[in-house]
Each structure stands twice: as C-alpha cells, then as structure tokens.
Amino acid sequence: MSKQSPLRPSDPIDRLANARISGCLRSTDLVERALDHAEALRSAGSHALTRLWRDEALAAARYEDRLSERGVLLPSLLAGLPIVVKDNCDVRGDITQAGSASLANAQPAQRDADCVAQLRAAGAVIIGKSNMSEFAFANTGENRVFGTPRNPRDPSRLAGGSSSGAAAAVADGSVVAALGSDTGGSIRGPAALCGLVGFKTSEGRISTDGVVPLSTTIDTVGPIARSVKCCAVMDAVLAKQPWRPLPEFSLHGVSLGVLQNFVLDELDQPVASAFENALRVLQDAGATLTEFSWDELNRRDWREVFSKISYSDIYASHGRFAEENAQSIGPEVVDIMLTGRSILPQDRAEALTFRRKIVLGAHDVMSRFHAVVMPTVPVVAPLLSALSDLEHAKKVENMIGRNNEPGNFFDCCAATIPCQAVGELPVGFMMMAKNGEDRRVLAIANAVEEVFRTRGLG
C-alpha cells in the first residue's frame, strides 16, 4: 500500500481543519512545511514575501497543538493553519512598510490591525507578510524595493497588484490563504491573474483600522484563497461572524446580468473565449443569463469623481509625508500622493454627494439580478517585460484595474473565480452585487465554481 502524501498548505481549509480535529495533523508540522516551502522559494528568487517569521510562527503552532491536546475546541476552521497578511496591515511588534523604503525606519506597530487581530483570535498562524506595490498604488504589482513578485502560473508574467505577494504566496503553495486589500481591484486582479479566488467585501463589512490607507472612503480588506469556501471561512472570521457553511445553491433559475458595455472592450482573445465558454456552461446548468448595458459606466464623470475622492483621501493621509520624504518614495507614487493637494474641500464634498446619489441608482440596476457578471481582468497576466516600456506599462496598469474599479466606486461586493480551460493562462470570472450581499455572492460563486470544476474549468 502506498504511503499517503502529507497534508500541505495547498490543501483545502476544511480538509486541513478536519485533519486537525481528528488528530491526524499537527499545526506544527503543517506550519513547518509552509515555512520550509516559502524559504526555499525565497532562496530561489521569489519576491512574494517581505517578512518570514519562523520562530514566532512555530511558537504559535505549538500553542495551537497544546490546545488541541487538551481537548479545547478549535475557535475556527483556520486554527493552526498558516496564512500571510499584506504588508499594509499592522502586525504588533513589526514595522509596516507598505512596500516602501520610506517606512523602513518607522516605529513598530504597537498593536495588530483589527483584521489581523481577528485572524489571531481565530487561531490562524501568521507566518509572514506579503509583498505589494508601493503604498498599494499599482495594479501591476511592481515593487522596486523588495522586487516584483512573479506569477507562479508562469514566472515570466506579472502576478498583478497591489496584493501581488498575497496572490503569489497562495498560488505557489506557501499558505492556505492570504489577507489583502482592495480599493480598485487589488484583491480581485491578482487573484484572477494567478488562477485563484479573491473576494472584495462590502465597504464597512470588515474594519480597516490599522491598515495603511489608500482611500479611507473606499478601502476594503478581504481574502485570497484557492476556493470560494476557503474565502468564505476567511470572510466569516474577518467580519466577526460565526462560521456557517455556504448554503447549497442550485443555479436553476439564478438570474445573472451579463454586462455588455465597458467591461467587454479590448478583451484579450483568451479572456473573451474563456468568458464566452463560461457563460455557455452556466446556461447549460440552468442559470438565466440576461444581457444588459449599464449606461453610467460610459460616463466620464464617475471616473473623475472616483479619482477626486481617492486623490483627496490619499493627500490627507500621505501628502505631508510625501513632501518630507520624496527622495525615498518612487517618483510616480509621490505624484499620486500630491495630486490631491489642489482638490478643495468643497469639491470633495460635492464628489461624495455625487457618489452617494449614483450608487443608489447602480444598486437599483443590480437588484434586477442575483449577480452581475463580467471578466475580472480584460487581459491575461502581462509579461514582466511590459514594465520596461513606460507607455505599455501604463496601458497594462489601466487594463488590470479597469473592470474592477466599478465594484469599488459603486460600493459593491464581488468574487472572482478562475474559468479558463485546463492548461490555459488564468482568466477570472467575476460576480458582483450591491453592498451587503456578501454571503449571497459567495454562495452563488460557490455554486458556479462547482459547475466550472465539473466541466474542467478553473
């Protein structure tokens, strides 16, 4: 009889949790495998992680094992499992660098960010911090300080950003899940490009206290993992909700709005083909697909207002710091930080009022369907060489974020799951609904994921 392979961080969270509950898996063994794997990848040139805490992680794992040996019930399915958190999240005793050399000598955090504290309370073992674009400002994931993470699905390509290292660490098998942030697609973009599941939570669902801000108005935090169920486990912990399995959800009669304008422009052919095939699969599974146009997306004013709100938030949070530390911050990041300097308080107030009004209309549109669907990113993962040409890099930056930004501006929750055929570059399929529909979006995404898997997609 062949010996069964040991469980690894690349296994599903529920399988690992069940193995811990039954006594077949020690947290110490799993975390040590995670650390060994991550360290080997770092030695080979991976830039997914900026910090790796072997001693602290193993101590936390041993503590979880002692609790299990005493018969203490697991506080969550995450208990004893290795994760990483994005380097814009405060971790008690560590410097929060947000991917920037300018914060290398900052004071260590005195307390965990709220989201990190929730993960610790759930028993998750934080093995390190994941790389990111400097101050979370780039969709490409480029980082000139710690190195730009490569896409584990094809190391000649970008992982996407700004939660680049979070997606890379999950995709390369180092951890069961990662904590990211999303203000303009920074969870969904990297997840889609790396063939993973990413969940952008509703504004206000999860506390951002202790997370270095991009836009205090629009920032959200959420998970990247290998499956919808794994993201749902993370989401429940982060949202301070008791774990409830996602409801069984038949796609028969589920109404999906297929957005026709804006999000389907300039699709890479592999993306167009994968998305069209995914729609056929869902229709065969009984879903009702309704093509529609969302006229607001073709208006320039929402994007201008999005920029006005974001840039004014950024300047309020980082403007003075950028003026005093410009020499240690990337010049394009400094430019972004200072753009909001010219935005008057009255203009910002008018922008916020405009957003509140247009969001109500958008939610009315989305309420016609159980979810609105679209390709998560209109292109496949760009080659690393795209960063060497300034104009090409700008195009890539815009394309990675384009389809995700409406979900942020119009205050939605959204999940991306892979939908490409086996052997193809990853393509993300996004499901989106209005604020507060998080559990429903996860349940629909879980059902869609099951259908895709039976058809060999993802």
The domain ranges of the chain are: 1-294+358-458
pLDDT(1) > 90:
no
Give tens-digit pLDDT for 200-220: 999 999 999 999 999 999 999
| Among 58, 20, 11, residue whose Cα is nearest residue 39 | 58
| C-alpha pair distances (Å), 117 with each of 84, 91, 111, 112, 114 | 13, 8, 8, 6, 5
To the nearest whole number, what is the mean pLDDT of the chain?
Answer: 97
Q: What's the pLDDT score for residue 6? A: 87
Q: For residue 15, count other CB atoms closer than 10 A to its CB.
A: 12
pLDDT(37) > 90:
yes
Give tens-digit pLDDT for 358-392: 999 999 999 999 999 999 999 999 999 999 999 99
394 is catalytic: no
- Per DSSP, the residues of 258-311 read EE-SSTTTT--HHHHHHHHHHHHHHHHTT-EEEEE--GGGG-HHHHHHHHHHHH
- Given the residues 27, 46, 86, 202, the one annotated as active site: 86
The span from the CA of 51 to the CA of 49, in Å, is: 6
Bridge partners, residue 177, by sequence: 83, 225
pLDDT(357) > 60:
yes
Give tens-digit pLDDT for 96-152: 999 999 999 999 999 999 999 999 999 999 999 999 999 999 999 999 999 999 999
Task: Please measure the distance between the N-terminal and C-terminal CA atoms of the chain and give it in whole angstroms.
Answer: 32
Q: What's the pLDDT score for residue 5? A: 65
Q: What's the pLDDT score for residue 248? A: 86
Q: Give me the architecture of the 1-294+358-458 domain, per CATH.
A: Alpha-Beta Complex (3.90)
Cβ-contact 374, 259 below 8 angstroms: yes
186 is catalytic: yes
Bridge partners, residue 375, by sequence: 429
Give tens-digit pLDDT for 255-290: 999 999 999 999 999 999 999 999 999 999 999 999
DSSP H helical ranges for 326-403: 331-339, 345-366, 390-402
Question: What is the bridge-based pairing of β-strands 255-259 and 371-375?
Answer: parallel
Helix (H) or strand (E) holding 130: strand 125-130
- Identify the band that residue 299 occupies on the pLDDT scale cut at 50, 70 and 90: confident
pTM, 2 dp:
0.97
Q: What's the pLDDT score for residue 4? A: 60
- Identify the band that residue 249 occupies on the pLDDT scale cut at 50, 70 and 90: confident
Bridge partners, residue 288, by sequence: 255
- Given the residues 46, 76, 130, 162, the one annotated as active site: 162
Q: Which residue has the higher pLDDT, 249 or 8?
A: 8
Average confidence (pLDDT) over 389-407: 96
3-state SS class at 415: strand
- Identify the band that residue 2 occupies on the pLDDT scale cut at 50, 70 and 90: very low
- Given the residues 46, 186, 215, 317, the one annotated as active site: 186
